[in-house]
Amino acid sequence: MRQEYLTIRLTAVRSEARRQSLPRPTLGRILGLVERNDNLVCRRSACRLLRAVPKLLALLLAVLAVISAAPDGPFRFVLLGDRTGEAQPGVYERIWQEAAAEQPAFVVTIGDTIEGLNDSTAAREWQQALASVHAYAQMPLYLTPGNHDVWSPLSEKLFRQYAGHPLHYSFDYAQAHFTILDNSRSGELSAGELEFLESDLKAHAAQPVKFLLSHRPSWLLNAGLQNPDFALHRLAKQYGVRYVIAGHIHQMLHMELEGISYVSLPSAGGHLRLSGRYEDGWFFGHTLVQVSGHDARFRIEETGGRTTDLSDWGSAGLTHRVASVGK
Ligand SMILES: [Zn+2]
């Protein structure tokens, strides 16, 4: 009788695990728990065992809930800066080659994928830009709209078509949540964007690691002055966003404000300005982000050169001399 009972229990647990899409190792652990519990109870009497059924099932469901809510991962993904804004020939292709070699789960770009600003050439530019990285088409690609991508109703339509997403959107990957905002046509984030951000963060509050991306660093001045009194920061803080990322200026910069990292990505092809010196954040490269548990580690990799950590960078460039870190 005990064996029959146990078989029924194991079948019930398997079907619940299928319903919740639990991974196989998790299911294995739970089935082990069932058998161990039953062995303990059955030493006494079948009668007691039957009385304990509801409690044991409740315990199992609680265990299932805890295990399925635990963080997944680890995984890694790539962040790419601007491709255009006086694109330097060959740089984007080389960066993709180096980024893809690290086998990221997906790639997120910060915008300015085409030179744009001209309705009559925009569609062709999108086709050329995407064709140049066609070899990596199996890798999911998430685009952020930049000012070179969206400037008119037609360009907005083309962004939707080629990016396969609206101007603002969000997605989950394992324990991480990504919100892509649109400030392609304004230096600031509009009230509508902040509204979208709040409802999105509210709906995904349970995701432990949150990234927020927008093309223009509308936060640059406030984060640089260590002023926490602005709407984006208040929302980020309220909903536990850990990383706020932008591009547009083509310069690697990093600021910390009340536990939130603000990051301006290095260029992925757009021209280097001012001093053009690596130490000042002017270089081509990509950023590999390793997400484990509730943390993310950024590796900023100069094309064919130095590798640094987020903590090596500050609001005015490199905080100290580095040869190479963390390869
Ligand atoms: Zn831009």
Give a yes or no: residue 272 inside a domain: yes
Q: How far is the CA of 94 from the centre of ligand 1 (A)?
A: 20
Residue labelled with tokens 């146990």? 6
Cβ-contact 113, 79 below 8 angstroms: no
Do both 181 and 282 map to the same domain?
A: yes
Do both 14 and 113 map to the same domain?
A: no
Domain boundary among 69, 96, 125: 69
Q: How far is the CA of 325 from the centre of ligand 1 (A)?
A: 29
Q: How far is the CA of 9 from the centre of ligand 1 (A)?
A: 59
Question: What is the pLDDT confidence band of residue 28, given thresholds at 50, 70 and 90?
Answer: low
Counted domains in the chain: 2
Give a yes or no: residue 234 inside a domain: yes
Domain carrying residue 37: 2-69
CA 129 to CA 181: how far, in whole Å? 22
Do both 255 and 273 map to the same domain?
A: yes
Do both 227 and 259 map to the same domain?
A: yes
The tens digit of pLDDT for each residue in 63-108 reads: 444 444 445 779 999 999 999 988 888 999 999 999 999 999 999 9
Give a yes or no: residue 324 inside a domain: no
Do both 177 and 258 map to the same domain?
A: yes
Do both 145 and 237 map to the same domain?
A: yes
Q: How far is the CA of 154 from the centre of ligand 1 (A)?
A: 18
Do both 169 and 275 map to the same domain?
A: yes
Q: How far is the CA of 146 from the centre of ligand 1 (A)?
A: 5
Neighbours of 250 (CB within 10 A): 25
Helices marked H in 73-177: 91-100, 119-131, 153-163
Q: How far is the CA of 149 from the centre of ligand 1 (A)?
A: 9
Q: How far is the CA of 270 from the centre of ligand 1 (A)?
A: 9
Do both 87 and 32 map to the same domain?
A: no
55 vs 290 pLDDT, higher one: 290
Domain boundary among 50, 69, 88: 69
Give a yes or no: residue 87 inside a domain: yes
Q: How far is the CA of 85 from the centre of ligand 1 (A)?
A: 7
Do both 64 and 159 map to the same domain?
A: no
Give a yes or no: residue 34 inside a domain: yes
Q: How far is the CA of 82 from the centre of ligand 1 (A)?
A: 7
Q: How far is the CA of 113 from the centre of ligand 1 (A)?
A: 9
Cβ-contact 67, 204 below 8 angstroms: no
Identify the burial level of 5 via C-beta atoms within 10 angstroms of its C-beta, where 0-12 means exposed, 13-18 middle and 19 or more buried. middle
Q: How far is the CA of 106 from the centre of ligand 1 (A)?
A: 22
**Residue 152 belongs to a domain with what CATH number?**
3.60.21.10
CA 268 to CA 110: how far, in whole Å? 10
Domain boundary among 69, 92, 116: 69
Give a yes or no: residue 326 inside a domain: no
Task: Say if residue 266's pLDDT is above 90.
Answer: yes
Residue labelled with tokens 């300015």? 112
Q: How far is the CA of 208 from the centre of ligand 1 (A)?
A: 30
Q: How far is the CA of 115 from the centre of ligand 1 (A)?
A: 10
Q: Is the dihedral of CA 189, 195, 199, 205 positive or negative?
A: positive
Q: How far is the CA of 171 from the centre of ligand 1 (A)?
A: 23
Do both 65 and 172 map to the same domain?
A: no
Q: How far is the CA of 114 from the centre of ligand 1 (A)?
A: 10
Cβ-contact 51, 45 below 8 angstroms: no
The tens digit of pLDDT for each residue in 168-199 reads: 999 999 999 999 999 999 999 999 999 999 99
The tens digit of pLDDT for each residue in 225-239 reads: 999 999 999 999 999
Total-model pTM: 0.78
List the beta bridge partners of residue 295.
Answer: 292
Do both 32 and 157 map to the same domain?
A: no
Residue labelled with tokens 């998430």? 142
Do both 114 and 207 map to the same domain?
A: yes
CA 320 to CA 323: how far, in whole Å? 10
